[in-house]
Chain A
Amino acid sequence: MSEQTQMDTLAYSSRMLGWAPLGKLLFVIAILIVNIATASVLVTFVTLGIGLTLMAYSTNFKIPFIIFLAILEAFAILIFGAGVISVNGTDTSTVIWDTDFLWMHFHMTVDSFNKAWLILLRGTSGIAVMLSFATSTPIPHMSLAMKQVHMPTELIEIVVLIYRYAFLLLERMEAMWNAAHSRMGFNGARTSINTVAAIAVGIFIQSTSLSDKSQIALDCRNYRGYFPVFSEPAKTGVKWLIVIVVAAVAIYMFGEYTADWINMAHLILGVE
């Protein structure tokens, strides 16, 4: 949750803040679809390039450490997944590597190798593109985008409220964490478990009390269930849709045309 609040802080200082949130969202979805639809590795390189460029523009690569860690974590999972795929080849193409290790049997073929790379690149470029969206679109803008696609308002309200109160509860959690340390609450496994449980209870109770009082405070302000955004980002116009469709189609066509241009096994391992 602290990643999300950090993300929002980042988003508010992004250069892409004022772009139409729905436009950005549709663009991201289009790119992801094209990524999956194509079999061309070159396309994934192109979309990765697009994602990284947008991220650079959006954040100037000033990424808070916690988010960087989260990205690394996602990347590590991708690599692991791709690795598993690469050593489980079941096809009939040239075998690159075949060995047994402990109880596992590794069978790497050219196809499985290429497939693994395709997935790795798809995943990475997908992450990059999604991040460019996340780092430039704070939750209130996202909720605007969601409203525009006619998602139910209750759902949107829940998302925004969770975001808002997550921050407050994080503050309380940090305070309790430090207070527990002062009384040696993390001195050993059993003590730590007890402490974490106590913190969970404490936060739960504080949150219910906060929500009660907030209800009253919001009523005092004539809150009617939606959160206004005064400086609204741009509206999604026809221009966006044209750009998205043209870009998606162009990239897909390019993918079809270049499907066999790059063979990762050939490129990296020199195998035919």
Chain B
Amino acid sequence: MALFEVRNVTYSYNSRQKRPSLNDISLKVNEGRRTAILGANGAGKSTLFYHFNGIFKPSAGEVLYNDRPLDYSKPALRELRNDICVVVQNPDEQIFSSTVESDVAFGPMSMELPRDEVDTRIREALDMVGMTDYRMRPSTQLSYGQRKRVSLAGALAVRPKVLILDEPTAGLDPQMAREVMELIDQLYCAGTTVILSTHDVDLVYSWAEDIIVLNHGELVYSGEPEEYFSDPEKTAYAGLARPHTFSVNSYVSKMRGLEESPYPRTTSQFIAKMAPEGAKGGHVRIVPVKEGTEAVEKTGAVGAYGYRAKKLVEAKGIEVDYMYDALEMCMQDAVKSKDSVLYCDEVLVDMAVDRIRSLESFGIKAEVIM
């Protein structure tokens, strides 16, 4: 089912613009898919998703949510924005309370939830972004990365059905960027539809199932990434570059007379495809994390995937090699024929297993042990 649908929408910020910010756009965003909106600066990415939560009303065309046109009355919009949370790129635009706690509390409090429910949600949201110790800090004392995490926590505390993130990894160092993506995966696996807008094509390629590409307010492409990146003209036209794994795979496959498909999306998949024949995969032991999970024997490098997994390894004093990007690191070990252990949040287990097993289609079979 289409979660959002935009039909012939046109929108301009002001009448002096030469070109509308969105020009007769029609597209659909599907429910339960990892969707990324791509485009150069000024392409209209933010403008588009501000139509999803009713901030902007199109001058022509209509916007539908769950197959129903948006109701722009104040109470309806308030309801809508409890279902759909947008986290903007610059956290300073969105954090307005003086302490971390009050800012995260804002969402649940304006939903008029009982006090201890609000408290639980604050605690959980701060846990998820790793800012538990900063609860009573004044927001002016936080670094940029911490502010970004607080603004994310503010949205998480609302427990929206749809989470829209504008450049969630911009300005973050690689570790924090991976941690944010891990969190996003966790939310996705737990049922939240996540839409992100970005111009980091490598990130998109390793994460998104559907992409929407905009350029100067027009739709350039909507669908799966491979078809889009296979067309270098379309890519250049939208001001984007091709992801590294895609580009190298494309050239090398052509030069070796191989099929470009299957398309490796991550480094581990790429290596699996390009590895010599008969390379043997290592195995990954997945330890689902729940109440009472204990440490297991260390058969190789150890990773923690998911915020509950990270809490567990800290609490139990387990020595961990991969605290971030753990799944991909374990997969890389597997293609190098090494074994590893992955403590994994329950909700992420299925996805982790699928990913690890996908290596086989690229040429290296990695065992999953539970």
Chain A positions within 8 Å of B, measured between CB atoms, are 5, 8-9, 12, 138-140, 163-164, 167-168, 210, 213-214, 216-224, 227-231
Complex interface: stretch among B15-23, B85-93, B205-213: B85-93
Beyond A216-B55, A230-B109, whether A223 also contacts B96 by CB under 8 A is: yes
For A213, the chain B residues whose CB sits under 8 A away are 88, 90, 93
Bound together, the chains give a CA A127 to CA B50 distance in angstroms of 49
Q: Are A220 and B96 in contact (CB under 8 A)?
A: no
Report the Cα distance A115→B297, complex, angstroms: 82
- What are 28 A-B contacts defined by CB distance under 8 Å? A5-B140, A8-B98, A8-B138, A9-B140, A12-B138, A139-B98, A140-B102, A164-B98, A213-B93, A214-B96, A216-B50, A216-B93, A217-B93, A218-B96, A219-B81, A220-B81, A220-B85, A220-B94, A221-B81, A221-B106, A221-B154, A222-B78, A222-B110, A224-B110, A227-B102, A230-B101, A230-B102, A231-B102
Least distance between A123 CB and chain B CB atoms (Å) = 30
Nearest 6 A/B pairs, CB to CB? A230-B105, A217-B94, A217-B93, A220-B86, A214-B93, A213-B93
Classify chain B's interface size: 20 to 34
Whether, in the assembled complex, B41 has its beta carbon less than 8 Å from a beta carbon of chain A, the answer is no
Whether A210 lies near B81 (C-beta < 8 A) is no
Q: B248 at the A/B interface (Cβ < 8 Å)?
A: no
Assess whether B81 is in contact with A140, with CB atoms less than 8 Å apart.
no
Question: Counting CB contacts under 8 A, is B118 at the interface?
Answer: yes
CB < 8 Å: which of B50, B107, B122 contacts A221? B107
Report chain B residues within 8 Å CB of A214: 93-94, 96
Interchain CB contact (< 8 A) of B99 among A12, A163, A210, A217: A12
List of A residues within 8 angstroms of B78 by Cβ: 222
Chain B residue, CB-CB nearest to A11: B138
B154: min CB distance to chain A, Å:
7
A94 to B201: give the CA distance in the assembly, Å. 88
Chain B residues in 8 Å Cβ range of A139: 98
Give the residue name and chain of the B residue nearest to A232 (CB): B102
Choose one: A9, A12, A138, A219; the contact of B55 (CB below 8 Å).
A219
List residues of chain A with CB within 8 A of the CB of B118. 230
